[in-house]
Amino acid sequence: MQTIQLKAGISLDIIFENEIAKSNAHYLKAVVYDYENDLITISQTSPALNRSFLDRRILITFLASTEGRVLRFGFPARLIDLIATYQIASGNAVEALQVKKYADPEPVDFRMYFRVRMPSQSDLSLFLKEEKVNLMDISIGGAKFTYPKNYTFRPADLVKCTLIIGSTIFNVNAKVRSVTTSREEAANRNLQYVSVEFIPENKKLEASLSKAILDIERELLSEGKF
């Protein structure tokens, strides 16, 4: 496989090293500004980090095309500095982060917990109580969706879902991990946001969902939305 190099402008997904194996891990978004040997300057992440996060070890991943395929690559790194006024190409001064990488990028496969936001059009859908839900994001490990407040979800509750991938129907058992509600003044105040963890039982489901997620990543990459 050809050597993959970072380039300015590449979109990054960042996860703290101690959260890699957690289904509720936090993923941060950033963009490469510049790089020199093992030192890489990236945009302030979204959500933003402050100096209290310096010296934390992270895994940085990104999508790249190699041998006709779009794959996810990653490398271990450490946050070493927060630059308050970094001059970008346009001449504007912005906040930036500097990281030190400890290895060259290699293919990584942690889609088990990597969630992608659902595009407006997809052949992947989730049903609960025979009603299609508004699926916000999904991974092999779980999903987040909205649901009317008139049904009560509680953390640790077990729920039965139906996941449709293309023309294939899967019955999925899941455990509720978190439930949040909108503020009363919000336009969607009648909705709640539910995160569930899939209980792995079906290798065919994992394979189908993994392929569907990779297809979504490829589509978002081609549209410049990833």
Helix or strand run (H / E) with residue 91: none
Per residue, what are the HEC states of 14-57?
EEEHHHCCCCCCCEEEEEEEEEECCEEEEECCECCCCHHHCCCE
The most confident of 11-15, 62-66, 179-183, 200-204, by mean pLDDT: 11-15
181 or 28: which leads in pLDDT: 28
Instruction: For residue 5, give the amino acid letter.
Output: Q
| Assigned fold of 11-107 | Pnp Oxidase; Chain A (2.30.110)
pLDDT tens-place string over residues 99-150: 999 888 887 755 445 667 787 778 899 999 889 999 988 887 788 899 998 8
Percent of the chain with pLDDT over 90: 33
Domain boundaries 116-222, corresponding CATH code: 2.40.10.220
> How many CA atoms, within 13 angstroms, populate the side-chain half-sphere of residue 96?
20
Amino acid 113: pLDDT: 53
pTM over cut 0.85: no
Give backbone dihedrals phi and psi of 208, rounded to 5 degrees, phi first: -65, -40
State yes or no: pLDDT of 23 exceeds 60: no
Asked whether residue 63 carries a pLDDT value surpassing 90, the answer given is no
Give the pLDDT confidence score for residue 55 in this predicted structure: 93
Residue 39 CA to its chain's centroid (Å): 24
The domain spans of the chain are 11-107, 116-222
